[in-house]
Amino acid sequence: MCGIVAYVGSQDAAPILLEGLQRLEYRGYDSAGLAVVNAKSLRTRKVKGRVADLAAVVPARFKGGSGIGHTRWATHGVPSDVNAHPHLDQEQRIAVVHNGIIENADELRRRLEADGIVFESETDSEVLSHLIGSTVKETDTLEEAVRRALKSVVGTYGIAVVDSHRPGEIVVARNGSPIVLGIGEKEMFAASDVAALIRYTRQVVHLEDGELAVLKADGFNTFTSDARETAKEPFTVDWEAGHYDNGGYEHYLLKEISEQPDTVARTLRGRLDDRFHIAHLGGLNMDPRESRSFRRVKIIGCGSAYYSGQIGAQLIEELARIPADAEPASEFRYRSPVVEADTLYIAISQSGETYDTLAAVQELKRKGGRVLGIVNTVGSAIARECDGGVYLHAGPEVSVASTKAFTSTAVAFALIALHLGRVRDLSPADGRRICDGLRKLPEQIKEILTQEEHIRTLAMKYADAPGMMFVGRVRGYPVAREGAQKLKEISYVHAEAYPASELKHGPLALISPELPTVAIVPDDELLDKNLTTLGEIRAREGRILMVGHRTAEAADDCIVVPKNETELDPILLTIPLQIFAYHAAVALGRDVDRPRNLAKSVTVE
């Protein structure tokens, strides 16, 4: 959730750090700070508030060729200037920025206080600066001091450390929280997200858990926690700095909604076979025999990734006829799951760094499970941990609320379902039907986007409601859940999603003129049952906004989307709900791209 940026080279570090922190604002934060080292002096500035507030207090002559910066999302201690990073040691020689949670921070704090250390902040992170500061005097290198200090730490961390006695050097380390190195021309960078580096370099290296790196202007070295040197091969990031611009849109969220015709096309590109009507997914690393060997599919993800997994489970069951279900990764990892050899596990994460999902993948691997990943970020931790998978190629998603990554994930699941189906019992005719349907998606999404003004009018009409109910059956239920998620996370309007068949088992008691219902009503075999549900709501004076393939007299308002193949319709039915949530949030004056209390990449528990 928090953001880290580090630089060492011949340029002034402060402007580079500030620009990098601005690139990480989408991750969510409440305070910001930086430290710069020059000629054995260590200078820091930190504030509660935005990066712009930090830039305002950094003086013009804040010189130094190395430094570290941070955006904090509070976990220990309220947002404040004092609790902001970097944190210093007692002698103000060492500065540390930290992402993650130190689980034994209270124990370490008591030990350090017994040795005479005085703490300034309420954070767990300050423990690290004092541990390293008390160790550095006993070592020949900063790297060794960091390594020794981390041996006392229980928890997760991504850290960057500078020492005023070593102005041309930065040490970074990772355990459960991402750190990426950027390789420049006689300068080195590090960050928690490649977004902070992309303006300066596209050559990057990802640290693994338990690794440290020493950065100097002329290069880097990486090591394990027991001082064994490791070999790292840089790779080139496909994304460019322009991908992180808002493209003239008022908000990144609207830009990313509008990009979906192109992002879906990229997810599909080169993956559909017209001869055999199958999906080519070489990244799965499975031959046809292996693809036929699985008797069950289990999908794990968090938030919108979990809801896309529900769509994926439905697609796999319908097309491949394999029992499939989705579960929150945050629950899966804690319930001591039974891991079966004939079950295929699929993990979903836009960033590829979602901590709960990563921990679930690691638990599955430890127990011998076969795990595929669906991620958007090449080289991310989940991509590296999995046995194979599918990259979305959706481009960077900056707004906290996921839209294009959600849609591309659902498309990726359609490709996986098609692949598994065709190596099993899905007929060539059905394979051709699904291939043709997938190819239609980009143009059909464009058609939906032309309805933005109509949807905006509806959003303004319903924005003042105290809450909204979302309902759908079978394929429509995960669409309803994702619609409710979008509305609640960016507009702060309370929203609940239920299977339409469950209304009469309790939730119907909530229906009233004050609580509108968004009903997902596709033209499928359940159309008549869904229309009956609308009648039940209408009979209790509930207002209805219907999203489907036709209008209905029982609905007060309708959004009509183009019809595709029945199995693929959920992908299209989701798009109007994204637009609706966006315009409801704008009407209510919300910070659309950075909703309160949320972050783009959740890298802590």
Is residue 386 part of the annotated active site? The answer reads no
Half-sphere exposure of 310 (CA within 13 A, CB side): 20
Query: How many CB atoms are closer than 10 A to CB 149?
Result: 26
Residue 225 CB neighbours (<10 A): 15
Number of helical (H) and strand (E) elements in the chain, helices listed first: 18, 27
Instruction: Say whether 224 sits in a helix, a strand or coil.
Output: strand
Q: What is the CA radius of gyration of the chain?
A: 25
Is 302 catalytic? The answer is no
Amino acid at 183: I
The whole-angstrom separation of Cα 36 and Cα 70 is: 12
Q: Which residues of 338-358 are buried (b: 16+ CB within 10 A; e: fewer)?
A: ebbeebbbbbbbbbbbbbbbb
Helix (H, G, I), strand (E, B) or coil at 433: helix
In sequence order, the 6+-apart residues with CB closer than 8 A to the CB of 114 are none
CA atoms within 13 A on the CB side of 572: 30
46, 298, 488, 600: the catalytic one is: 600
Q: What is the DSSP string of 225-255?
A: TTS-EE----EE-S--GGGGS-TT-SSHHHH
Whether the Cβ atoms of residue 46 and residue 21 lie closer than 8 Å to each other: no
Measure CA 390 to chain center. 16
Q: DSSP character for 102? A: B
Are 546 and 534 within 8 A, CB to CB? yes
- For residue 408, give the amino acid letter: S
Distance of CA 354 to the CA centre of its chain: 6
Q: Is 162:94 a contact under the CB 8 Å cutoff? A: yes
Q: What are phi and psi of 161, to 5 degrees?
A: -130, 135
Phi, psi for residue 437 in degrees, rounded to 5? -65, -40
Q: For 350-430, where are the E strands, in sequence order?
A: 370-375, 388-391
What count of residues does the chain have? 605
> Which residue among the candidates 2, 386, 435, 558 is catalytic per the annotation?
2
Render 15-82 in DSSP notation, one character per residue: HHHHHHHHHTGGG--SEEEEEEEETTEEEEEEEES-HHHHHHHS-TT---SEEEEEEE--SSS-S-TT
CA–CA separation, 262 and 395 (whole Å): 10
* Pick from 4, 7, 3, 5: nearest CA to 169: 7
For the CA atoms of 67, 190, 16, 251, what is the dihedral angle to 10 degrees?
Answer: -130
3-state helix, strand, coil split of the chain in percent (to 5) is: 40, 25, 35
Catalytic residue positions, numbered: 2, 600
